[in-house]
Structure 1
């Protein structure tokens, strides 16, 4: 199986036409992949092909306002709840009654509420980079440092002015370079986030110019309006969906040992201390040596192995 066997379709969902990539038999257990930022369905290309070969149906949408999906009429009103409901509607449109959910980066912040709000639809969850986010996650528990990019990008107009100094390809390139680091990338008071990358800095070895072209073309189409709203300008709502949340399905969190998100104050301790299990009691955490924020693209074979092992252990939970 190869990239050209991935099928592409558009599904009318909640008033928008959303792009969905898909590979694998409709009679196979279904897996839906939820991307992060600055990502699209393409982020999951290695996993989609491997899962289809292993006997699963792999589905990867572009969230509203990302990639080939329509943007909402008022991007500044978009929310995580919209993405949760869009995902549920995509599953309904594809006549999938139960699914495994794999979310990376803020895709994890969509995966867990999907299980809380539509428990009948979710058989299990794998997230990469982020665990379950507790109530008040980014307002009370994980207070982000000043100058850290999410804090900067929460300010209306600031990222727009910063990004606007460069072409889209350079913006995407800089973000991939920044997010591949193992430390929090923090700007000084008189500095913008794009200034943290020297123009001569090379791409990570596992990321090609062709990959950057694909991402840049997607953001040329969509722009960054919705992407800055969700996740960054709605972070204060994370963890507010359900009172006393508990996700009972089997869950695996896969985190690179060099994942910079582990350096957010309190985040590493929250995972390692087991506090996260108050909310997700059936969670296993797996650390990948040398792994960065972009595990599916940096170490695709390792991620494929971990994901397929999990799915083979739990596929009895999905009745096709």
Structure 2
């Protein structure tokens, strides 16, 4: 029997798998196929369930919502080689997924690593992405530059170096039923954002064979030279949302990311941390719907 996340599904949500090149992505859908597509990309160390508070509001607003497990996460294909997690590969997965589900053009939301990938998709596939909302996630080139230029951002990003340690970081993060990973999430979020009950689905995903190594491969692939993104400013409309209490990403990094856009506002949530989509779910859902207003017309 194929493993699934049926117990996590709510009314109107559908589960499926999509072959995308050499990868089989596990996907949760909601809303009518044929409506404007809204692709939602989770970050580390979550999976599609990260968007549980936004899926239904977006579907009710008239979107075809598509929330995949990124490659290596939860039920999607999990290559064990780091080279399978280059940013250009991750971006291509998303474009191919949208095409496989019947839409060459789509809206995009991303959080954390999902936002990093979203920057690449917006830069490299401007004709496919109609608009992107990127939450708590930097442009990858700005991220690398700021780590070298800003001591404060270097301190905030210390974990990137820790994640480079082969087998040791997996051993430490996975010990005692992922105690350190759970603690890191709780320390960086508002109280009860990651309660024991809310963490259970995440622990189930982390415990899959090889899962931690695949999740860390996203960071380890950064050691390889970045494939240069288009040098011109990003033409895709981009909006960035950032929490003023984000422990991982400084405001300067988010502003440096937006500098790569022809136009794009930065929305700052004063009392928000890195986990805005979980802490202020209604606000984020409303913000996403306000991209183009409720009840959008299907794309012809």
Smaller-chain TM-score range?
Answer: 0.7 to 0.9
1:65·1:75 contact (CA, 8 Å) conserved in 2?
no
- Report the Cα offset of residue 26 of structure 1: 1.1
Cα 1:312–1:116, aligned 2, differ >3 Å: closer, same or farther?
A: same
Per-residue CA shift, 1:160-206, capped at 9, x if unaligned? Answer: 231243224x344223113327xxxxxxxxxxxxxxxxxxxxxx323
Which of 190, 194, 213 is matched with 1:225 structurally?
213
Q: Which residue of 2 aligns with 1:150?
A: 160
Which of 40, 43, 63 is matched with 1:36 structurally?
43
Cα 1:208–1:311, aligned 2, differ >3 Å: closer, same or farther?
A: farther
Q: Is 1:174 paired with 2:183?
A: yes
Q: Which residue of 2 aligns with 1:200?
A: none
**Other structure's SS at 1:102 match:** strand
Q: Distance in 2 between matches of 1:236 and 1:280?
A: 25
- Report the Cα offset of residue 79 of structure 1: 1.8
Q: Distance in 2 between matches of 1:146 and 1:55?
A: 39
- Report the Cα offset of residue 311 of structure 1: 3.1
1:22·1:60 contact (CA, 8 Å) conserved in 2?
yes
Which of 142, 161, 173 is matched with 1:163 structurally?
173
Q: Which residue of 1 aligns with 2:98?
A: 91
Per-residue CA shift, 1:262-305, capped at 9, x if unaligned? Answer: 44xxxx23445xx5444112211111131111111111011111
- Report the Cα offset of residue 138 of structure 1: 5.8
1:291-302, aligned counterparts within 5 Å? 291-302=272-283
Q: Which residue of 2 aligns with 1:197?
A: none
- Report the Cα offset of residue 226 of structure 1: 1.0
Q: Which residue of 2 aligns with 1:249?
A: 236
Q: Distance in 2 between matches of 1:31 and 1:319?
A: 12
Cα 1:146–1:279, aligned 2, differ >3 Å: closer, same or farther?
A: closer
Q: Distance in 2 between matches of 1:306 and 1:90?
A: 24
- Report the Cα offset of residue 124 of structure 1: 0.7
1:41·1:61 contact (CA, 8 Å) conserved in 2?
yes
- Report the Cα offset of residue 120 of structure 1: 1.6
Per-residue CA shift, 1:51-79, capped at 9, x if unaligned? Answer: 01111111111011101111015246432
Which of 164, 178, 193 is matched with 1:206 structurally?
193
1:35·1:41 contact (CA, 8 Å) conserved in 2?
yes
Segments of structure 1 that go 5 or more residues without pairing to the other structure are 182-203
2:39·2:106 contact (CA, 8 Å) conserved in 1?
yes
So what's the TM-score if we normalise by structure 2?
0.86
Q: Which residue of 2 aligns with 1:191?
A: none
1:1-320, aligned counterparts within 5 Å? 3-75=10-82, 77-134=84-141, 136-137=144-145, 140-141=148-149, 144-145=154-155, 148-168=158-178, 170-180=179-189, 204-221=191-208, 223-230=211-218, 232-236=219-223, 240-263=227-250, 268-272=251-255, 275-312=256-293, 319-320=299-300
Cα 1:60–1:238, aligned 2, differ >3 Å: closer, same or farther?
A: farther
Q: Distance in 2 between matches of 1:147 and 1:304?
A: 28
So what's the TM-score if we normalise by structure 1?
0.81
Q: Distance in 1 between matches of 2:56 and 2:44?
A: 21
Cα 1:210–1:5, aligned 2, differ >3 Å: closer, same or farther?
A: farther
Cα 1:148–1:35, aligned 2, differ >3 Å: closer, same or farther?
A: same
Q: Number of residue pairs matched?
A: 288
